Structure 1
């Protein structure tokens, strides 16, 4: 071989070596091509963005398991984002979040109580998600949501949270108790309901279960009736309107049921658990409660039903509910990734019900076409008849506001229920509560 040819081959060999070196530098340590998340030339993948997600305990242990599986699925589909799931108990939930916010260490994103986002927006801790809402609206995806659920989370002109679950109140009835009372047709109006409740009374049975010493269920029964009568406790400009004619009429209806003897007098001292036991024992015909009430009595599955929405005296139909939501915190260092997770969670969380046995209803109405709801007569009826007429405590005003939390938890509301159950004059029973609501809201009617 000539010197000229040797030099030529040496040059070719040198080019091959250089090319091989460049190729090796652009591969990982195992020789595989780098992913998009790698630093050029580093040979190592970047760490994914980490997002902390605090989720309240919305159901039995199966709920937590289903939620964890969802997070794992998201992480597998989004290798550049790693969501860490934390199941957060309801005990001292408010202190848990306020302490974390004060310390500058809240989660990036969380689910929470119905009015939580409003409260923490006032603390400048919540990140508005107007861009997310407008994006989904332009894509037509909000058309699938329960009417009013998105707007219920607007506060001071901004969307501060995203809806995912509806907590609703409906009237359950004992089929066997109705049958024993000779009731062959279910009531369709308030007048028919009152007449049927009276038929049940006697032999240790009472028409209506109404726990008078429970801070939630008594209030919820009364507010459900007020909304069912076209009433509500606010004007559109958030003035307290508890004493309007429709509300007084609803309170009078409840007082009349009590005066008929359709509520056990001992109920004045009953809490919610005691009320559940009375209903389960067949000593009460109707009980306004959460959709999960039948889960307390699996052995009574064929004896419990839901009344269809009743027409109030003026033809109105409605019931009380809450829009539970998911919110992003301003302290997050990764708002875009948090929004990505929020949107994905909304699109993919049906298994929280079908596998996790979550007690409320999905805000996405298309989910309820799943056999989980369609093959269960109670769940199907609630989805078909009640979700579309659900109204929140403050529905008259645009969006929500933090004072709603104090309104619903105010002790004078329980006192008002107890006065009504004790036979006190209706309007007089409501006046003290109305004044307290005005103090909470800082306004006068």
Structure 2
């Protein structure tokens, strides 16, 4: 998948094609665009012209596992243990991929949701960077008084960060959409409290009601034009919006009203398929590729965090103080869509890709609802989709 600009594609292609396995095993590299990617994979797999190994969406491996198309990665994990790479994984990043049948996939990068702030706007408003929900509300009011946005976010076309914020705030409050054993738990008290808090941000104009239609381009423009003071986004915002002056920086994680501290994380992974010329060669390629991906961070073509400690210790990685801070402060507290549980599954693709969470987020951002009504509608949508 194109995880970055064309420079990334070129670097990843070079790494992949450098593979030389036993019995003259070789690898070819094909780019699959994100537009309609799932249909592209599904059609190729059905016609037995699919890949032997691929990256893809965070929950894609679990969807194809349900169809009996995924080759479990246990043998590859054993090879990683033998060559020392297994011990290089950051704590906890591999565990969510272990099912009762085996490892469904292997993580290779982390897509984090973190809070960013513009220092000069906080200085202008005379307010400190928020550390908890109460100070975020108060800071947002003061920032609004100088014409700045206290929570830059959106849920318009192609902008998923808004719905990620709604779930992130739930898990930052000790809640989440699922129980620890993977059952729907939408209406729990912590989720209600988090949704009420988001509605309070909307009612105070800290989340602009217009956010319901803001695209990523709108959000980028807000940061670039010095309108956004605080907001949730992925990594690399200064480069993304073209302001590397140091004025835009990562803020530390905020604490929920009950003392909880967490954020949302997507563990992007590499999966192997049963339709392969050689399962052993697929495993060897996976081990090889994981051993070489440090080059992608060394060449600075990645807009995500690595899963290996050794990559976080590269000089090229340490040059980005924001990424270092995210690794040190956000990664240890990060949770997935599976929260309150930990193990990933195919239902998470319904939460991530279905209409229920989008509609919930847009309803909340308009402010024309109450928390329990909005959550009940989300619960009904998820129940219906997960029965199909």
Q: TM-score range by the shorter chain?
A: over 0.9
Q: Which of 204, 219, 222 is equivalent to 2:147?
A: 204
Whether the aligned pair in 2 keeps the contact of 1:403 and 1:440 (CA below 8 Å) is no
What residue number does 2:379 align with? Answer: 434
- Report matched runs for 1:406-445 at 5 Å: 406-423=350-367, 424-442=369-387
Q: Secondary structure at the match of 1:326?
A: strand
Structure showing greater relative contact order (alpha-carbon pairs closer than 8 Å, 6 or more residues apart): 2
Whether the aligned pair in 1 keeps the contact of 2:223 and 2:241 (CA below 8 Å) is no
User: Are positions 1:380 and 2:317 aligned together?
Assistant: no
Q: Which of 162, 186, 191 is equivalent to 1:247?
A: 191
What residue number does 1:331 align with? Answer: 275
Q: Which of 246, 266, 271 is equivalent to 2:215?
A: 271
Distance 1:301 1:81 in 2: 47
Q: Deviations over 1:219-247 (max 9, x none)?
A: 11111111111111111222111111111
Return 353-362 or 336-345, whichever deviates more: 353-362
| Post-superposition offset of 1:356 | 4.9
Using the size of structure 2 for normalisation, the TM-score is: 0.93
Return 268-277 or 123-132, whichever deviates more: 268-277
| Post-superposition offset of 1:373 | 2.2
Whether the aligned pair in 2 keeps the contact of 1:240 and 1:441 (CA below 8 Å) is no
| Post-superposition offset of 1:299 | 3.3
What residue number does 1:18 align with? Answer: none
Q: Secondary structure at the match of 2:111?
A: strand
Using the size of structure 1 for normalisation, the TM-score is: 0.82
User: Are positions 1:313 and 2:254 aligned together?
Assistant: no
What residue number does 2:301 align with? Answer: 357
Which of these two proteins has the greater Rg computed from alpha carbons?
A: 1
Distance 1:305 1:397 in 2: 30
Distance 1:265 1:160 in 2: 40
Q: Secondary structure at the match of 2:27?
A: strand
Question: Where does the alignment leave 5 or more consecutive residues of structure 2 unmatched?
Answer: none
Distance 1:290 1:235 in 2: 26
Instruction: Figure out how many residues of one structure are paired with residues of the other and give that number.
Output: 386
Question: Where does the alignment leave 5 or more consecutive residues of structure 1 unmatched?
Answer: 1-55
What residue number does 2:137 align with? Answer: 194
Q: Deviations over 1:20-61 (max 9, x none)?
A: xxxxxxxxxxxxxxxxxxxxxxxxxxxxxxxxxxxx111111
- In structure 2, the CA distance between the partners of 1:297 and 1:213, relative to structure 1 (3 Å rule), is closer
Q: Secondary structure at the match of 1:98?
A: helix
Q: Deviations over 1:307-352 (max 9, x none)?
A: 1111111111111011111111101121111111101111221111
Distance 1:304 1:79 in 2: 51
Distance 1:365 1:168 in 2: 16
User: Are positions 1:122 and 2:66 aligned together?
Assistant: yes
Distance 2:323 2:13 in 1: 25
Q: Which of 16, 24, 44 is equivalent to 1:100?
A: 44
Distance 1:274 1:417 in 2: 17
Distance 1:104 1:268 in 2: 41
What residue number does 1:73 align with? Answer: 18
- Report matched runs for 1:81-230 at 5 Å: 81-137=25-81, 141-183=85-127, 185-214=128-157, 216-230=160-174
Q: Deviations over 1:395-426 (max 9, x none)?
A: 44452211211111222322222222233211
Q: Secondary structure at the match of 2:29?
A: strand
Distance 2:70 2:211 in 1: 41
| Post-superposition offset of 1:137 | 4.6
What residue number does 2:345 align with? Answer: 401
